[in-house]
Amino acid sequence: MFPFPDEATKRALDLGRREVFQTYRVLMACELQRLRPKVEALPAGLRRDQLTARLDSVATLSGGAWMQQITVRGATVEQVATLFKEVQASLDGVVPSAVGNPCLTAAVDELKTKIVDVMNDAAKPTHTAVNTAFGRLFGSTSAVAKERFAQTVTALQNLLRRTDGRRSGFVYNPSLPAGMAALASGQGDTAIINVGRSALDGTMHLWDLAATLAHEGTHTLADNPTVDIVYRHRNAAYYLQGQIGLQNAANFEQTVYEALGQGGPFPTDLEVVAMRGRTAPRMDSLHTVLASRITRAWVRTYDFACLDHTRADLPKPVALMLTDLPQDRAYASLTKAYLDALHNAMLALMRAEERLVVQAEPKMLNYSTVINLDGTIRFTINSDLATQAPVAQILHWMLDGLVAEANCQVPKDSAQLLGLILEIEKFDRDNVHNVLNDFYDSFH
């Protein structure tokens, strides 16, 4: 969300502090970019016209006289923040309560009755299908995966019981990114799962919500919680077999889709075996590595945004890459807003990666990136180059096209963005760092 300037920030703006001024200009562009599609998607009428007018006013202000007259910058930024707040408040509207919510209840019941109650009961008609799904996603560790899945459903049932409409259990969070129905926080008895409107108002298919809750629920386990090493799109979860699969939340999510026979098409058994044995084409494997690196960058920028910036500094490698960001703790609210914008930029990059298709062609001279009419982003590389070029170089080439398509506003230099994505596992969480290194090092 766009930050209201406090008194210290207003003074810095009116005194002409360049980095504070430039950061606000970037944040204005980011917030306009975020809100315009939401307003344009509203039904034609007075409400859409009024919100469009507010955003047009912001666009005018962001390029107006305040840029030259530094003594009015603080007041102008406050005016912009007010307009943004009015637009967001209108978009939020009224959302069904999470307390006793029938959608959440039905989704958790789906996991219990159609997967947990079935996987250890051979008399159930779908017993084989459910266990086949666990075998395809976890291989030799499927027995452990089934146990953790049952623990997850119990944890979700406890979350439902704790939901109080305030800050316990399932908590409505209007600031979740578009397309994200839920986001877990914490483990054990103090864990919560933030949910968006789509998880509460019946927008989602029951099986889609059930799979999403299984994913987030594995994050909340008191023992052996999962992390997001790579998400389920493009079948990437099948590459993470064995112990690393047990640590990736999307493997449990994908299991739900397979067990319920929804969300396909799924890879064939032969394709799964090939991915498990690392015999798939090198470019497919490196595409999975790229997806994982972008995923971890998105997760970690969220962690950085959640820091108390009045008390904690960013890791030095991050701060060195973000040269436009004020390093003084006096600008904590501005730092928080900038890191929120960086997190959103990583989300845009992740959404672009979901549309990426890679292929190796012997007749290709070097490599190219093309945006197709159907929205896919096709990266084509010479076959010899695909087998011989260093991993980091190929990742750079693929990322170049994604950065351009995502139109990220921050960091302003694409080289900074590339560096952050490729280096982020060096300052990832301790319990993830070694897992990521082992995973990335397995591809050469």
> Which residue, among 104, 124, 105, 122, has the nearest Cα to 114 in the 3D structure?
124
What DSSP character marks residue 251? H
Are 327 and 309 within 8 A, CB to CB? no
Please state which of the ranges 67-76, 92-101, 174-183, 347-356 shows the lowest mean pLDDT: 67-76
Q: What is the DSSP string of 11-22?
A: HHHHTT-HHHHH
Q: What average pLDDT does the segment 246-258 reach?
A: 96
pLDDT category of residue 240 using cuts at 50, 70 and 90: confident
pLDDT at residue 255, as a whole number: 97
β-bridge mates for residue 379, sequence order: 358, 369
pLDDT in tens, 426-440: 777 666 777 777 777
Whole-model pTM?
0.76
List, for residues 162-206, the tens digit of each pLDDT value. Answer: 999 989 999 999 888 777 899 999 999 999 999 998 898 887 889
Q: Return the pLDDT at 181.
A: 92
DSSP string, 270-281: HHHHHHHTT-S-
CB 244 within 8 A of CB 229: yes
State the pLDDT at residue 262.
93
Instruction: Evaluate if residue 7 carries a pLDDT over 80.
Output: yes
Residue keyed to tokens 């459903």: 153
Residue 65 confidence (pLDDT): 58
The predicted model gives 103-122 an average pLDDT of 96
Centroid of chain to Cα 227: 12
Mean pLDDT of the chain: 87
10 Å Cβ neighbour count for 421? 23
Nearest residue to 321 via CA among 336, 341, 342, 305: 342
Structure tokens at 432: 């993830």
**Residue 324 pLDDT greater than 80, yes or no:** no
Mean pLDDT lowest for which of 64-78, 184-198, 206-220, 349-363? 64-78
pLDDT at 403: 83
Phi, psi dihedrals of residue 388, rounded to the nearest 5°: -110, -30
Whether pLDDT at 212 is above 70: yes
Cα 300 to Cα 198: distance, rounded to the nearest angstrom: 25
- Mean pLDDT, residues 124-131: 96
Q: Lowest mean pLDDT of 46-60, 78-92, 265-279, 407-421, name the range.
A: 407-421
pLDDT greater than 90 at residue 318: no
| Dist CA 118 CA 106 (whole Å) | 17
Q: Which pair of tokens denotes residue 28? A: 């204005």
- Does the pLDDT of residue 158 top 60, yes or no? yes
Q: Judge whether residue 67 has pLDDT over 60.
A: no
> What is the per-residue pLDDT for 188?
94
Averaging pLDDT over each range in 44-48, 53-57, 302-306, 402-406, which range is the top one? 53-57
Q: How far apart are CA 155 and CA 161, in angstroms?
A: 10
Count of residues making up the chain: 444
Bond preceding residue 265 cis, omega within 30 of 0: yes
Nearest Cα to Cα of residue 220 among 288, 168, 297, 293: 168
